[in-house]
Amino acid sequence: MTFRRAPPGRRFAEREQVTTTAFITHRDCQLHDMGSHHPECPQRLTAINDHLIAQGIDAYFDYYDAPLATFEQLLRVHPAAHLERIKRASPEMGVVHLDPDTAMNPHTWQAALRSAGAGCLAVDLVMKKQVENAFCSVRPPGHHCEKATPMGFCFFNNIGVAAMHAIKAHGLERVAIIDFDVHHGNGTEDCFAGDERVLMCSIFQHPFYPYSGADKPAANMCNVPLAAGSGGEEFRDAVMQVWTPRLREFKPQMILISAGFDAHYEDDMGGLKLVEKDYAWVTDHLKKLAAEMCDKRIVAMLEGGYVMTSLARSVGAHLRSLADL
């Protein structure tokens, strides 16, 4: 039995029994820093936290520290050589670039382990019914990291590690991954293309970085490329006409969300035109599908979103929906 913390002014005795939303993060995730002008910056998490406090909704979540992912968990997705490469690249001081966009400082290794570990903890909490759903406010993100290639600000495929944890540690046979980031989750597709245990449903701007996802995807990849300038109407059509039938056919036992918010019209990292109400709508819709098919099990993990104001508002809308606020 779990209880949501009472809002200000409500007496303890007046609290209602509710299922709760877990909010998983760790201060290590704010220590990873790829440089003062890099868009994937520590201030992203600060902006989210500040917005939740300013809106008075921070008290409605159960907070957990993200654990360090174990090598056993990571090796379900990545080969040992990938883990060794990342660990060896970790600098004692300064910044080391793995590619022009993806860099490590002395705290990156730890932060990346926390980010991947957050998804595993979220899956555990949801499967044990300690919470109804969970949001992982972590960085670095993960959906661009391929099995053996870090890229696009990503070092481990966090959502993939969570999916395999659900399969291997909890015995699930069917897991859905939803990705509404403006960029195609090429890493997640690389990890699971052809794996019948996983259905990936995604929208992304195309043509656009990383210039993948549109040409002959595997049967378990439900990709919907959207042209620059597409907005809520096109997004909702993709969800209702393409994603939803595939999800109902697949009947997932858990829904994982690569929750990127850089498709927002204010975010200049992309050219789509979603707004907060679109993120609230898709979260509401996924919650209905989860209630219908998989005992309400949802785990969401932060991916993109690089304008602090729109990121914070969009995460707030997503969390309000997850927590029924």
Closest to 193 measured CA to CA, from 222, 170, 171, 173: 222
pLDDT at res. 4: 39
Q: 145 to each of 151, 195, 201, 249, 278, how far by Cα in Å?
A: 6, 17, 17, 28, 26
Q: What is the pLDDT of residues 85-96, one digit of tens each?
A: 999 999 999 999
Closest to 279 measured CA to CA, from 313, 309, 245, 308: 313
Beta strands in 125-278 (DSSP E): 133-136, 175-179, 198-205, 221-226, 254-259
Separation CA 57–CA 316 (nearest Å): 9
Helix (H, G, I), strand (E, B) or coil at 311: helix
Separation CA 191–CA 242 (nearest Å): 22
Q: What is the pLDDT of residues 199-208, one digit of tens each?
A: 999 999 999 9
Q: What is the pLDDT of residues 21-46, one digit of tens each?
A: 999 999 999 999 999 999 999 999 99
Q: Are the C-beta atoms of 314 and 266 separated by less than 8 Å?
A: no
pLDDT mean over 132-139: 98
Token duo for residue 285: 């819709």
Separation CA 188–CA 181 (nearest Å): 12
Rg of the chain, C-alpha, whole Å: 18
Q: Are the C-beta atoms of 203 and 175 separated by less than 8 Å?
A: no
The residue ranges of every structural domain in the chain are: 18-322
Region at 196 (left for phi over 0; alpha for psi -120 to 50; beta for the rest): alpha
Could you give the residue numbers annotated as active site?
Answer: 144
Q: Are the C-beta atoms of 124 and 60 separated by less than 8 Å?
A: no
Question: Among 2-6, 45-49, 159-163, 235-239, where is mean pLDDT lowest?
Answer: 2-6
**Which residues, at least 6 apart from 237, have a Cβ–Cβ distance to it below 8 Å?**
none
Closest to 47 measured CA to CA, from 305, 318, 272, 321: 305
Average pLDDT for the chain: 94
Q: Are the C-beta atoms of 39 and 131 separated by less than 8 Å?
A: no
pLDDT at res. 137: 98
Helix (H, G, I), strand (E, B) or coil at 153: coil
Confidence label for 1 from pLDDT (cuts 50, 70 and 90): very low
Buried b (16+ CB within 10 A) or exposed e, 84-104: ebbeebbeeeeeeebeebbbb
Q: pTM of the predicted model, to two decimals? A: 0.94
Separation CA 189–CA 214 (nearest Å): 11
Token duo for residue 90: 């970790």
Closest to 225 measured CA to CA, from 62, 54, 234: 234
- CATH domain 18-322 topology: Arginase; Chain A (3.40.800)
